[in-house]
Structure 1
């Protein structure tokens, strides 16, 4: 029996899901090529001093924080797929602008375009995944997407490292071109191959975000937890190399292990906690973050021969905590968002990730004050998150 006119068949829905995964994989493969090397490109190819380059990229990235507030109403008006496609085209333009860039202004324009497109992407992505996934809880679809994106980003980063080693500055230019091309491939696939079902009808729930204390509290709780992930990314190299005087290769190995876990264990984490509630799993994730802080602090006291093993164990703990919390937080946000304002709700929810990303370098800078201070702060945030989740139980 054929589906009603305008409704996707089971086969077309499956094709849309697979195409979405491939498109997002292409996006992250290209991002892995260039994003970790942005500052290297700006200093080596464009020729800006490191301090100027860092400030310019930071200011441009911060400008992208204005986008989620604008993106939400747009998603509610036209649907998430056109907005995601537009975000890919903007990011392609931003990446492409790095190629002819000479001087601070050109780098700032390219960075603003790239960061703005990225924020537009995240502000509409989860609504698109929700549409393509169809009815029911979104924990597993979000987990699968996160695994694909993490794996492709890691593969892109490894390829970029090899390219940089083999081709030097020419390799950096190639990485920029690959990144721009990956955004165009993603946009084309989304436009041609991804056909989500009709958007959900209003469900009668109030759509007043400013008055929705439960959803706003979820944003705060998620932000407290997201700080740990961003701090791990920027703080690990500082802690290992500057505080612990560890081997130069150790931060790269730890980040590779974390990426591998995120790329392979998302659905495993869901299965391992299938007998507990979503909120219980999220609280366990917060407890694991606190444990990660404790194990990392322990590294200050262990013999040098044990340092790598202790930090590897800490990496496994933080990766597990992130898997248990992150996917379910996105799924819970999608579930709490009323259909009539889902775009505005989910776009605003992205501030739970963007603000910690801005704050994480400052937290890592606290190592200059005391080696234990950042760990106490991050553990305290996780404890507050675990306590705040009680209202959702």
Structure 2
């Protein structure tokens, strides 16, 4: 059913990614609460501090792209986990704003370094199997990470049943320990060795900044990533303020999306294995476009149809995510020039970073005009992404789009 890739040589990598995601799922939803309730930082200052550290960390993918050919993706990934563990460990004792800012910056740099190197490590692992394993590997690891995050989020909810500051301390401390465990597991993985050697053999100074077609792919990837981010950014506000539906339905709706992502990516790759990656991604964009129009139209639906209509909306949205996610990462990996995959995948991380920055602001600005407008904008963005991908794909290696 799940059409798994060859895992025997890379069990430590898979377990490390799962442990990392569990820890992130535990502390992620509680980080801001930790800063306000335990560190006693005012909410506005805490939010501004997190935003500022995330913005500063945007330089990391470009820096990682410069050094990853020399050091290898796995080594950077290990260093990223150590940085995140150090940052969160520091938060356990930080009680003033400057120290909190330093700790969150260290953690943010580690987080950005993680995402700048993990794709190349996964791609390296896929090289030990047949060519079609790349899509399976990205699908499977996405499933592992989604499952881990969901388990962590459930744990975070259970911790909140404990009174006082203890749940927040446990959440941050547990995540720090998970990062350390993940780093130790990665030390025993052999994923990056053959590809690191290939990267090292390539001309070190060639294409330090990706070629223009690949930069176009990053731009198109940002548009697709915007579509993949907008639900988490705006669903709660739309449900409560736009549709006047009960706030209690937001959690179950997001849980549906999480469960489908945790279970459905490998089957989605298997069911579309005869179609090219570009075709599947374009279909995902079209599904997102239809989803946006449909979700905006829920504002015109009778009250009795709002909740089932929202459930269908999340299902359609999840189908687009399942189609797009693993195929886009595999395409980005194979579209990179030979011997420079790790550098290019570090840069590809900007597509997600830009989307994460843009989605909340675009949602807030358009929702203020009309509650349905954010979803119409998403439909347009999805169609622009489809056209952009079709154009960019002409200038990228044809073999990268293979089924």
Matching residue of 1:3:
none
Q: 1:372, CA displacement in angstroms?
A: 2.6
Matching residue of 2:227:
228
Matching residue of 2:383:
383
Partner secondary structure for residue 160 of structure 1: helix
Matching residue of 1:52:
45
Matching residue of 2:251:
252
Q: Is it true that 1:201 corresponds to 2:198 in the alignment? A: yes
Structure 1 residues 81, 307: closer, same or farther in 2, change over 3 A? Answer: same
Matching residue of 1:10:
none
Matching residue of 1:166:
162
Point out the more displaced range, 166-175 or 150-159: 166-175
Point out the more displaced range, 375-384 or 19-28: 375-384
Matching residue of 1:123:
116
Matching residue of 1:349:
348
Matching residue of 2:268:
269
Point out the more displaced range, 175-184 or 130-139: 130-139
Q: 1:54, CA displacement in angstroms?
A: 1.1
Distance 1:114 1:303 in 2: 46
Point out the more displaced range, 98-107 or 169-178: 98-107
Q: Is it true that 1:186 corresponds to 2:182 in the alignment? A: yes
**8 Å contact 1:285–1:324 — kept in the other structure?**
yes
Partner secondary structure for residue 184 of structure 1: helix
Matching residue of 2:294:
295
**8 Å contact 1:292–1:318 — kept in the other structure?**
yes
- CA deviations on 1:9-50 (whole Å, 9 max, x unpaired) are xxxx84432221111000000000001111111111112222
Structure 1 residues 28, 110: closer, same or farther in 2, change over 3 A? Answer: same
Q: 1:176, CA displacement in angstroms?
A: 0.4
Structure 1 residues 166, 63: closer, same or farther in 2, change over 3 A? Answer: same
Point out the more displaced range, 42-51 or 204-213: 204-213
Task: Give unpaired runs (5+ residues) of structure 2.
Answer: 1-5, 395-403
**8 Å contact 2:210–2:347 — kept in the other structure?**
no
Partner secondary structure for residue 25 of structure 1: helix
Q: Is it true that 1:114 corresponds to 2:113 in the alignment? A: no
- Mapping 1:294-333, distance limit 5 Å: 294-333=293-332
**8 Å contact 1:132–1:197 — kept in the other structure?**
no
**8 Å contact 1:30–1:153 — kept in the other structure?**
yes
Q: 1:115, CA displacement in angstroms?
A: 1.1
Matching residue of 1:372:
372
Q: Is it true that 1:78 corresponds to 2:78 in the alignment? A: no
- CA deviations on 1:168-219 (whole Å, 9 max, x unpaired) are 4211100000000000000001113445442253698994264622211111
Task: Give unpaired runs (5+ residues) of structure 1.
Answer: 1-12
Partner secondary structure for residue 321 of structure 2: helix
Structure 1 residues 196, 345: closer, same or farther in 2, change over 3 A? Answer: closer
- Mapping 1:138-153, distance limit 5 Å: 138-153=134-149
Q: 1:150, CA displacement in angstroms?
A: 0.3
- CA deviations on 1:95-147 (whole Å, 9 max, x unpaired) are 11211121222221121111110110111111111112215241110100000
Structure 1 residues 71, 100: closer, same or farther in 2, change over 3 A? Answer: same
Distance 1:324 1:141 in 2: 14
Q: Please, what is the CA RMSD of the aligned residues? A: 1.9
| TM-score, scaled to structure 2 | 0.90
**8 Å contact 1:33–1:157 — kept in the other structure?**
yes
Distance 1:247 1:335 in 2: 45
Matching residue of 1:5:
none
Distance 2:165 2:230 in 1: 29
How many residues were matched structurally? 381
Partner secondary structure for residue 340 of structure 2: helix
Distance 1:238 1:353 in 2: 22
Structure 1 residues 275, 133: closer, same or farther in 2, change over 3 A? Answer: closer
The partner residue of 1:175 within 171, 178, 182 is 171
The partner residue of 2:80 within 61, 65, 87 is 87
Structure 1 residues 150, 168: closer, same or farther in 2, change over 3 A? Answer: farther
Matching residue of 1:61:
54
**8 Å contact 2:147–2:262 — kept in the other structure?**
yes
Matching residue of 1:8:
none
Point out the more displaced range, 216-225 or 178-187: 216-225
